[in-house]
Amino acid sequence: MAIRNIRLIGDSILTKRSKEITEVTPKLRTLIEDMLDTMYDANGVGLAAPQIGILKRLVVIDTSPEGDSPIVLINPVVLETDGEQTGEEGCLSVPGKSGVVTRPNYAKVKAYNENMEEIIVEGTELLARALCHEIDHLDGVLYVEKVIGDLHSTEENND
Tell me: pLDDT of 1 over 70: no
Taken in order 3, 40, 132, 87, is the CA torsion positive or negative? negative
Catalytic center residues: 134
What pLDDT band is residue 159 in, cutting at 50, 70 and 90? very low
Residue 125 Rama label (left phi>0; alpha psi -120 to 50; beta)? left
Exposed, middle or buried by CB within 10 Å (0-12, 13-18, 19+), for 141?
middle
Q: Kindly calculate the radius of gyration of the chain based on its CA atoms and give it in whole angstroms.
A: 15
Task: Break the chain into its structural domains and give their ranges.
Answer: 12-158
Q: What is the mean pLDDT of residues 38-48?
A: 97
**Average pLDDT over every residue of 116-130:** 97
Q: Where are the alpha helices (DSSP H) in 56-124?
A: none
- pTM of this structure: 0.94
Residue 57 CA to residue 75 CA, distance in Å, equals: 5
Residue 5's SS3 state is: coil
Confidence of residue 158 (pLDDT cuts 50, 70, 90): very low
Q: What is the pLDDT of residues 130-153, one digit of tens each?
A: 999 999 999 999 999 999 999 999
As to burial, measured by CB atoms within 10 angstroms (0-12 exposed, 13-18 middle, 19+ buried), residue 148 is exposed
Considering only the top CATH level, what class is 12-158? alpha beta
